[in-house]
Amino acid sequence: MYWVSVFTEAAIFAILALGLDMVWGWCGDFDLAFYGYLALGSYMTMVLTIGRPTPPVEYIIGWRLPYPLALVLADVAVVALAAVIGAIALRNLREIYFAVTTLGAVSVLYLIVENYTPLFDGYNGVYGLINPGQTLLHLTYDGYRVGFLGAVLVVLLLAYLLAQRLSRSPFGRMVCSVREDERASAAYGRPVFFVKYRAYLVGAAFAGLAGGLFAVFISAFNPSAWTPQELLLIYAAILVGGRGNPRGVILGTFVVYVGFIELTRYLPSPASRPDFGPALRQVLIGLLIILMLKFRPEGILPERAGGRQPRRPVPGQAPGLAAGPPAEPAGAVAGAGPASADPADQEGAP
Amino acid sequence: MTAALLEIEHLSKSFGGVHAVQDCTFMVPEGHVIGLIGPNGAGKSTVVDLVSGFGRPDAGSVRLAGQQLIGKRPDTISRLGLIRTFQTPREWRNLTVLDNILLAQCRFRRESLRESLLRARRIRREEDADRAVAQAILDRFQLGDLADERAVRLSGGQKRLLEFARIAAAEPRLVILDEPMGGVNPVLGVRIGEAVRGFADEGRTVLIVEHNLPFIERTCDQVVVMDLGEVIAQGPFSSLRDNARVVDAYLGMDLGRE
């Protein structure tokens, strides 16, 4: 059962990482608000399913919706929040300015949630989402945990298929072009802000979904469950796996969560210093990031340049400017000028 | 003279106390190749930025085929048929050379989230056709063998050619080239001249900002001269040699000889 729970957590965070990768890997924006989206997804799922609060506990909404419906509504709330934060942070701010703005946004949210108790009961947080559907499905506790892992893996698979399809689509190519050179993208007709904004909202939707699943996994959520370090671990996972490659991102999450964190749990820990093990783990994760950056900055599975086209042998030597005849054209349209392109496909082209 | 495709009227822009562009007025007739020259700091690049939406003028008007461009975003202006380059090549570095061309083809409808998610099969079919066209364009610019390379790995000269290949893929009505000859060797320079004339032969209008005067003389039908933010002369290149203001602006440089 221990490993079931480890894998469940890793799979949930892999969904979050897929979403974060759309923002960081595809758009190139270092977003520090992202864990807030998971947190809000978790909180919202809770308050939509656990019913009315009994005083002195207080929180908003307090409905008893079926879990799947709550998951969807919670995700809508997350995307709405991301729409506000993204509209502020993505418009003109880039790089460190963007990162600081998102950090500020999530800090404000954090303070509000902590101190304004009618929202999510402040420091105490909300709890009580215990195994939705267990009685309905007549499952034992262990059976439910395994079943939940299966459900999370299915969601992860769907999220992966979605991310993979987008990353190889014209949409993904456009998003990456903005990362590579914004001004060039604008000069070729791409509305930079809206391109980034759309990718940001899709990424946030992934995070909200992960939050809703996380709510079931831990059955309670409070401010201490979302510290900034958690997000840095996700960044580490993306970096290790391969930024910009959905397959790599999932692999990286499992490597960091299952391989690294769980294995370092068995580090010897002197009885006099019980915090030695966890502290050492933080150090080792930092070391892992540094080593990855030094020796394989593109990650285990690097981003594929060039989407779908079949690989062709790359010539060893780049041909000089005056060198040789041009290579065989790939298709039958050799010599066809751009003017002969299918006019039906020209809508919107300059 | 044919009708004006680009009309710039009373354009002004200051940066702090510097009047980068002052009451600049000229027009670019459709189908012509026009050179925009002047000493450093004359305001040429600022004009290009203002026309293409990368800067907001303090005053003035810019019309493309009668349509007002001032106040529009760069991407909107681009979709109206104006493609500009920058002083340094701005390729999408970590995308492949072929992807650079596919992006420049500007198939915007296909890039919507809905299309990309739900129409994968049709998109794949269309992309295959576009890819063949893109490959043909690359072959035309001697970049065919490099289609699958990341653009960042091209040499400086190849990056210049990629800029021209992207313009060819975009099929714009108006091309604005900002110093296309910067850091270019003579052999490549000839090829760039041919590419510009090629655009003109296809019926595109070209505006070139350039310091290389022999190149301007060879390539352009007409020349606009700027100095200190103002247009000081306009006409065929040969007419400028005797223009005192132009000669003065260039500090007595011998125009047309290297």
User: For strand B67-68 and strand B59-64, is the pairing parallel, antiparallel, or unpaired?
Assistant: antiparallel
* pLDDT (average), residues A8-32: 93
The token duo for B63 is 């019309």
Q: Residue B20: helix, strand or coil by DSSP? A: strand
pLDDT over 80 (residue A330): no
**Residue B252 confidence (pLDDT):** 54
Which residues have CB under 8 Å from A233's CB, separation 6+?
Answer: A13, A256, A257, A261, A285
Q: pLDDT tens, B193-237? A: 999 999 999 999 999 999 898 999 999 999 999 998 899 989 998
Q: CA A151, CA A134: separation in Å to the nearest integer?
A: 13
Helices A170-180 and A141-167: crossing angle in degrees, nearest 10, is 70
Q: Does A187 touch chain B (CB under 8 A)?
A: yes
Chain A residues whose CB is inside 8 A of the B195 CB are: none
Interface predicted TM-score (ipTM) of this complex, two decimals: 0.92
> CA B41, CA B54: separation in Å to the nearest integer?
18
Distances (CA, A) of B222 to A3, A152, B31, B164: 76, 67, 12, 21
Q: What residue spans define the domains of chain B?
A: 4-91+166-249, 92-153
For A38, A239, B53, B108, the CA distances from B105, given in Å and listed in that order, are 38, 32, 20, 9
Spatial separation of the C-alpha atoms in residues A9 and A12, rounded to whole Å = 5
Residues of B in contact with A345 (CB under 8 A): 107, 126, 129-130
A238-270 confidence digits (pLDDT tens): 998 999 999 999 999 998 888 777 777 777 767
Residues in chain A within 8 Å Cβ distance of B54: 183, 186
* Domain B4-91+166-249, CATH: 3.40.50.300
The per-residue DSSP string of B180-241 comes to: TTTT--HHHHHHHHHHHHHHHHTT-EEEEE-S-HHHHHHH-SEEEEEETTEEEEEE-HHHHT
Which residue in this structure is represented by tokens 């079919």?
A: B125
> What are A255's two structure tokens?
């490597």
Interface of B with A in 166-225 (CB under 8 A): 166, 168-173, 185, 187-188, 191, 202
| Whole-structure pTM value | 0.86
Q: What is the pLDDT of residues A223-234, one digit of tens each?
A: 887 777 788 889
Rounded (10°) CA dihedral B86, B155, B162, B27:
30
